[in-house]
Amino acid sequence: MSVLIVDACERTRARLRDLLSLKGGDGSHVHEAGDLDQAAAVLGRAPVAAIIVDVDTPAQDGLALLSSLRALGARRLLVVLTNDASEPRRRACLARGADHFFDKSHEFERALELAIQHATREPA
């Protein structure tokens, strides 16, 4: 399993990493990035089958981040997990290349399960 977590919040990344490791087995293939530059570096050096990203970031435009991640990881599953789960935000994320869109407040586990399923059956 190889998953990249892109979230500006280090605590959220750690929580996702721990849950992915618990649910998916060995966590050695769970990568983390706090922004696009870090994500690009990971994608340039590691095979990644799925990307979980929060588009609510104070440092950059979240929709531009999503478009950039899609361009960098064209074949990878791209899952948005965010606190702003409004319908306009969902539509905008899907239009920018997200494969799935989940609400952090009550779909956290569902997003992780989807990423794990994809990452364990698809080569990076």
Would residue 68 count as lying in a domain? Answer: no
Read off the pLDDT of residues 12-24 as tens digits, 9 standing for 90 and up.
999 888 888 887 6
Would residue 36 count as lying in a domain? Answer: yes
pTM of the model: 0.88
| Per-chain mean pLDDT for the chain | 86
Kindly write down the DSSP assignment for every residue of 11-75, as one continuous string: HHHHHHHHHHHHHHS-GGGEEEESSHHHHHHHHHHS--SEEEE----SSS-HHHHHHHHHHHTTT
Would residue 77 count as lying in a domain? Answer: no
Q: With bands split at pLDDT 50, 70 and 90, how would you rate the model's confidence at 90?
A: very high
Would residue 113 count as lying in a domain? Answer: yes
Read off the pLDDT of residues 44-88 as tens digits, 9 standing for 90 and up.
888 899 999 998 877 677 888 888 888 887 788 999 999 989 999
For residue 78, the model assigns a pLDDT of: 93
Would residue 76 count as lying in a domain? Answer: no
